[in-house]
Amino acid sequence: MQSAGGKVARRAPSVNAAKRWLPIALWLCAGLAVAEPRAPVPGALGPEERVLDNLLRADVGRPVEQRLAHIDALRADPRWAGPGWQALLAVERCAAAPDGSPGVLAALESRSGRDADPQTRVAVLKCRQWAADHRGDPSDNYRWAREAWGVLDELKLSSLAFRVARDYADEASYAGALDEALIAVSRALEIARGAGDALREADALTTLALIQSELGRHDDALRNSDRALELDPAIERSDEKLLARSALQIKARRYDAALLTLRQALELADREGDQESVLAIRINLAAVYHHTGRATENLALTAALLPEAQRLDIQYLKPYVYIARAFALADAGQVQAGSEMFERGRDWFERGGEVNQMADSLHDWARVLARWGRWEQAYAASAHAAELHERTQREAREKNANFLAAVLESGRKDLDIERLRHQGETARLQLEAERLTQRTWVVVGIAVLLSTASLLFVHLRLRRANHQLRAANVALDYESTHDPLTRAYNRRYFERLFEQRRGRGQGRVLLVLLDIDHFKAINDRHGHACGDRVLLESSQRLAHCVRSADRVVRWGGEEFLVFVDEPANAEAERCLVLRLLEAVAAAPFELRGVPVGVTVSIGFGSFELAPGFDLDLALADVDAMLYRAKRSGRHRAIGRLHGAAEPVLLLPTPPAASVTTLSA
């Protein structure tokens, strides 16, 4: 997937640029929540800054050597001898150079210190970021981008301030910190619009679109992508925006549209001779082939990608190729070969610290393994994905949407039947394993009468029985906490989870109770099968709004409970409740070919887990808030935020979220 930088601003291939282009590891709720700026946004570009900006933009499409020579010439030009201009040119050179310009970085560091001007301090941080970017170190890349973001308020050059905000939006999004990414991209948009710079506004809109896509707001994302192409239609930059658009379409499951977009982008990239973009486009094409079941074409395509990635020796693209090839092999039934290829890509991502992206790939890989009946491997991949999500949660605090969905409590009877079936199957396999074990000892006792082949045969049968037993235990464990229809957590799991949380001591939790509005009318008008589909898709949309440490639970009928452990503050609680409120209504549901709008009403409360905390009383309070929300007009949320004495009313956006204090 595309960074808002890419060729538009920094004109150089980088790890960060490829991240924004590629949905491979993500194979895959809010709109633009513009935060108040912390300081006045730099205004329109002054005449000198505009001249320098145009000189740098003139390098679009030039070879790297020519671009570096041009930047060096500008750095030596007396017109640009001031510290601000030198800082801006140093950042451009560090971004463009394949090695990150270590000499430029060393010179900057020798001049930086407490008394250094903000532009020079930011230049040091950005050059450190690009050095980490070029060597494939995403952890340091995010670290330096974040530190540069902290200096943003002191910058006077709009072009440098925009780069800092836009780049941090990219890195925060990639690290899973989507709230921070939205704040940063809104700041980048303010800077671009304040400067009257349509090209930078197009960059920021592209980044915003990709963040919205990760939040499940696909229609908003595609609209912003269209707007970006309208603002910056230049052919020499369009291949990257088309590549970003293809990633949005893939995530929105609009595979036919993505295929057309990728073909257009490939034509432009071929015309420009941009081999790196060509490789990235073909990787996205492999994703489309995977999702549309074109296994034969995908095998041929990914087989050609492997030598191409080796020839170009673009290190960060190689693992994407490995993973694309793994899915192609598995789709064709070559699961073992695919597993070996997948491990090559997984190793690179985890060694590089890119665990959030790898976790999403593991979830998809688990589904592929399950499709081929490799339950134990699928369970292990899913468990490892959960572990990686938890690690990212500790490091970045906010996570990308996870794999959870709510369960249908009405399916409890089916769950009990399924558990009994699995228990019976487990008992049968245990008896068979014991019988085969005894038979093995008998065989050993009379080994002189048996051939080696007989021993091997019995041993293999024993191994197979044990393998089936392990697989049955894995399935039984899964069924005890998940619904067979939605494959998501159930109410029993929540009760056990909450007791474990209570045992860890004090803290704060947010309980959000949601009810689908007019659900009975949906069942009556469209049938229970369509009602089940609304429940399933609603739970999936809600799951895209929460962190991996949070849980979405089917509470009964058409009700869902969202459990949030240790929310950051009242503002974070408010933003989450609004995302949940808007997630279900974001797009209509297709029921028997008819688009049907669905909304939810919400009751919520933020509670301290002090000694003597009563969960039943807390749930009763949240349920009362839900009743007030439904009684006062539906499609709204009422509840208590952290530290608030009175309940508040939250209304969905657009046009804008509003908060009204209610009398108790």
Q: What is the CATH number of the domain that holds 285?
A: 1.25.40.10
* pLDDT value of position 639: 96
Q: Choose the final residue of a domain: 292, 318, 350.
A: 292
- What is the percentage of the chain residues whose pLDDT exceeds 90? 20
For residues 24 and 94, membership in a common domain is answered with: yes
Confidence class of residue 30 from pLDDT cuts 50, 70 and 90? Answer: very low
For residues 88 and 213, membership in a common domain is answered with: yes
Per-residue pLDDT averaged across 409-429, rounded?
53
Residues 224, 209: Cα–Cα separation, whole Å: 6
Pairing of strands 594-596, 508-516: unpaired
The whole-chain average pLDDT of the chain stands at 77
Is residue 314 situated within a structural domain?
Answer: no
What angle is formed at CA 488 by the lines to CA 482 and CA 491, rounded to 5 degrees? Answer: 65
Amino acid, res. 241: K
* pLDDT value of position 603: 97
* pLDDT value of position 422: 57
| 333 bridge partner residues | none
Q: Choose the final residue of a domain: 251, 275, 292.
A: 292
What single-letter DSSP state applies at residue 36?
Answer: P
What single-letter DSSP state applies at residue 29?
Answer: -
For residues 521 and 474, membership in a common domain is answered with: no
Q: pLDDT (tens digit, 9 = 90+) per residue, 535-547?
A: 989 988 998 898 8
Predicted confidence (pLDDT) at residue 212 exceeds the cutoff of 70: yes
Is 492 exposed, middle or buried (CB count within 10 Å of its CB: 0-12, 13-18, 19+)?
A: middle
- The residue with greater pLDDT, 109 or 401, is 109
Predicted confidence (pLDDT) at residue 591 exceeds the cutoff of 50: yes
Residues 621, 509: Cα–Cα separation, whole Å: 14
> Minimum mean pLDDT among 18-32, 313-327, 469-483, 615-629: which range?
18-32
Confidence class of residue 368 from pLDDT cuts 50, 70 and 90? Answer: confident
For residues 269 and 160, membership in a common domain is answered with: yes
Is residue 137 situated within a structural domain?
Answer: yes
Predicted confidence (pLDDT) at residue 351 exceeds the cutoff of 50: yes
Residue span of the structural domain in which 422 resides = 410-481
For residues 469 and 581, membership in a common domain is answered with: no
Q: Choose the final residue of a domain: 229, 258, 292.
A: 292
Residues 287, 249: Cα–Cα separation, whole Å: 11
* pLDDT value of position 379: 84
* pLDDT value of position 646: 92
Confidence class of residue 428 from pLDDT cuts 50, 70 and 90? Answer: low
Is residue 354 situated within a structural domain?
Answer: no
Predicted confidence (pLDDT) at residue 62 exceeds the cutoff of 70: yes
Is residue 429 situated within a structural domain?
Answer: yes
- The residue with greater pLDDT, 295 or 482, is 295
Residues 173, 200: Cα–Cα separation, whole Å: 18
Confidence class of residue 246 from pLDDT cuts 50, 70 and 90? Answer: confident
For residue 636, is it left (φ>0), alpha (ψ between -120 and 50) or beta?
Answer: beta
Is residue 346 situated within a structural domain?
Answer: no
- The residue with greater pLDDT, 135 or 167, is 167
> Minimum mean pLDDT among 137-141, 222-226, 521-525: which range?
137-141
* pLDDT value of position 456: 53
Is 210 exposed, middle or buried (CB count within 10 Å of its CB: 0-12, 13-18, 19+)?
A: buried
Per-residue pLDDT averaged across 593-600, rounded?
93
- The residue with greater pLDDT, 575 or 247, is 575
Predicted confidence (pLDDT) at residue 17 exceeds the cutoff of 70: no
Predicted confidence (pLDDT) at residue 219 exceeds the cutoff of 70: yes
Predicted confidence (pLDDT) at residue 191 exceeds the cutoff of 70: yes
The CATH number for 648's domain is 3.30.70.270
Predicted confidence (pLDDT) at residue 207 exceeds the cutoff of 90: no
Predicted confidence (pLDDT) at residue 622 exceeds the cutoff of 90: yes
Predicted confidence (pLDDT) at residue 199 exceeds the cutoff of 70: yes
Structure tokens at 588: 């209509």
* pLDDT value of position 225: 82
Predicted confidence (pLDDT) at residue 218 exceeds the cutoff of 60: yes
| 565 bridge partner residues | 509
Assess contact for 35 and 657: CB atoms under 8 A. no
For residues 453 and 523, membership in a common domain is answered with: no
* pLDDT value of position 437: 55
Is residue 352 situated within a structural domain?
Answer: no
HSE-up of residue 539 (Cα within 13 Å, Cβ side):
30
Is residue 248 situated within a structural domain?
Answer: yes
CA dihedral (542, 543, 545, 550) positive or negative: positive
The DSSP element (H or E) to which 554 belongs, if any, is strand 551-556
For residues 533 and 640, membership in a common domain is answered with: yes
pTM of the model: 0.49
Pairing of strands 637-640, 551-556: unpaired
For residues 587 and 558, membership in a common domain is answered with: yes
* pLDDT value of position 619: 94
* pLDDT value of position 435: 63
* pLDDT value of position 471: 62
For residues 463 and 501, membership in a common domain is answered with: no
For residues 416 and 558, membership in a common domain is answered with: no
Omega within 30 of 0 (cis) for the link into 655: yes
Confidence class of residue 382 from pLDDT cuts 50, 70 and 90? Answer: confident
* pLDDT value of position 509: 95
Predicted confidence (pLDDT) at residue 412 exceeds the cutoff of 50: no
For residues 438 and 573, membership in a common domain is answered with: no
Is residue 368 situated within a structural domain?
Answer: no
- Domains contained in the chain, number: 3
For residues 167 and 251, membership in a common domain is answered with: yes
* pLDDT value of position 396: 46
- The residue with greater pLDDT, 404 or 382, is 382
Confidence class of residue 306 from pLDDT cuts 50, 70 and 90? Answer: confident
Residues 543, 324: Cα–Cα separation, whole Å: 26
- Helix 198-214 and helix 218-231, axial crossing angle in degrees, nearest 10: 160
Highest mean pLDDT among 189-193, 311-315, 417-421: 189-193
Residues 35, 214: Cα–Cα separation, whole Å: 19
